[in-house]
Amino acid sequence: MKYQNPDISNIIGQMIMVGLHGYTKNDVFSFFESIEGYPIGGVILYDEDITTSPSSLHNIRSPKQLTSFTNSLRKYNNIPLLIAIDQEGGKVNRLKPDYGFPDSKTWAELGKINELIITKENAELTAKTLAHYGINLNFAPVLDLSINPNSFIAQKDRCLSSDPKKVIAHSQEFIKAHLDNNVMTVAKHFPGQGSAIGDSHNSFVDVSKTWSSNELFPYKELINNNSLDAIMISHLFHSELDNTYPATLSKSIIQDLLRNKMGFEGVVISDDPQMKAISDVYNLETVLELMINAGIDIFCFGNNLIYDPNIIKKVHLIVMKLLDEDKISIDDLEKSYFRVLNMKSIINIS
């Protein structure tokens, strides 16, 4: 594997994924100029902000524009970038038909149809589209079970089924289609938010009384058959899994449950630390310290809730400070670094 003896800035950089403003190659140049000396491992693309912002700041406008944009992104980083997107289909769909991209079914629609060949065809179209436009990581499939029909995630047709076996079968088709096209998938949202009532974008969400261990079943089976290379951790709180911290900050949930008990050896990615479930409660230094010690490999700052042009520099400086103060270990950072590089090698970008 390349990059066997990295300096500390590259180690930290591989743990950072971030959203950026703009849609032209000049915007890309300005972005990398602004973070010179502070490497990153990936970017995440959006076609809109959750909070209102001018459309000129969004990354996706048309097929031609997106091709130019991702080509530019690949030019400026020493270690090849993860270029990520949320392309679940249907209502969570950054590459919309209105912009000139192919339409796709929601995960819930595919669950109702329940024909694996249709899921395979839909996933192949999605994966080929992403690969064609230079995107190499998709934050999907959603493994959350459709437990509460009034949940935030079910209301947007993001859950395939309440039946874990059905979720597993369709997810395997989705994942294989992406890997066949050198696009990484990220299963989400561990340990399962199908029963959640609230939305962690906006507030603290407690599933202690609604969650069941059945929600782990898709993860267990897909880990056991080596289908999962990356998992996104949610910001959900569950007092019986960890009576102090939400999942993204929890060593009990990530290290003890996911890694040690369930045997997951791949990359662990945080849901956006800028979501209010985290940012309203903890400062950034505390978040990074807890996430690293819990076992997070990549911090995914969407930067579309509150745009922070300095977030990359802040993360680098805080992680260095935490190292100097012996609050985190270089061994943990190196493990994350090599996990990320291994994941990149699976899709031939390292």
Query: What's the pLDDT at 183?
Result: 99
Query: What's the pLDDT at 202?
Result: 53
| Predicted TM-score of the model (pTM) | 0.96
* Distance (Å) of CA 330 to CA 48, 123, 294, 324: 36, 38, 14, 10
Query: What's the pLDDT at 33?
Result: 95
Question: pLDDT of 264-274, one tens digit each?
Answer: 999 999 999 99
Query: What's the pLDDT at 2?
Result: 56
Query: What's the pLDDT at 262?
Result: 99
Q: For residue 224, how far is the Cα from the chain centroid?
A: 21
DSSP summary character for residue 23: S
- The 3 state secondary structure assigned to 155-181 is HCCCCCCCCHHHHHHHHHHHHHHHHCC
Banded model confidence at residue 4, pLDDT cuts 50, 70, 90: low
Query: What's the pLDDT at 62?
Result: 97
> What six digits make up the tokens of 149?
């029909």
Query: What's the pLDDT at 306?
Result: 84
> If you search the block for the tokens 């300095």, which residue do you land on?
310
> What six digits make up the tokens of 129?
């589209």
Question: pLDDT of 219-246, one tens digit each?
Answer: 999 999 999 999 999 999 999 999 999 9
Query: What's the pLDDT at 152?
Result: 82
Banded model confidence at residue 78, pLDDT cuts 50, 70, 90: confident
> What six digits make up the tokens of 225?
């058959």
- The topology under which CATH files domain 8-346 is TIM Barrel (3.20.20)
Banded model confidence at residue 130, pLDDT cuts 50, 70, 90: very high
Mean pLDDT of 167-186: 99
Question: pLDDT of 324-341, one tens digit each?
Answer: 999 999 999 999 999 999
Banded model confidence at residue 115, pLDDT cuts 50, 70, 90: very high
> If you search the block for the tokens 């038909």, which residue do you land on?
97
Beta carbons of 341 and 350 less than 8 angstroms apart? yes
Banded model confidence at residue 128, pLDDT cuts 50, 70, 90: very high
DSSP summary character for residue 101: P
Q: For residue 166, how far is the Cα from the chain centroid?
A: 23
Question: pLDDT of 131-167, one tens digit each?
Answer: 999 999 999 999 999 998 888 888 889 999 999 999 9
For the cut 90, the answer to whether the pLDDT of residue 205 exceeds it is: no
Kindly write down the DSSP assignment for every residue of 226-263, as one continuous string.
T--SEEEEP--B-TTT-SSS-GGG-HIIIIIIIIIIT-
Beta carbons of 111 and 160 less than 8 angstroms apart? yes
For the cut 80, the answer to whether the pLDDT of residue 100 exceeds it is: yes
Query: What's the pLDDT at 53?
Result: 58
The answer to whether the bond into 6 is cis (omega within 30° of 0) is no
Query: What's the pLDDT at 52?
Result: 56
Beta carbons of 250 and 322 less than 8 angstroms apart? no
DSSP summary character for residue 103: P
Of 241, 240, 246, nearest to 256 by C-alpha is 241
Mean pLDDT of 187-192: 98
Mean pLDDT of 284-299: 99
Beta carbons of 248 and 234 less than 8 angstroms apart? yes
DSSP summary character for residue 80: P
Distance CA 306, CA 201 (A): 11
With pLDDT > 70 as the criterion, what percentage of the chain qualifies?
94
Mean pLDDT of 189-205: 78
Compute the radius of gyration of the chain from its Cα atoms: 19
* Highest mean pLDDT out of 70-79, 175-184, 205-214: 175-184
Query: What's the pLDDT at 303?
Result: 93
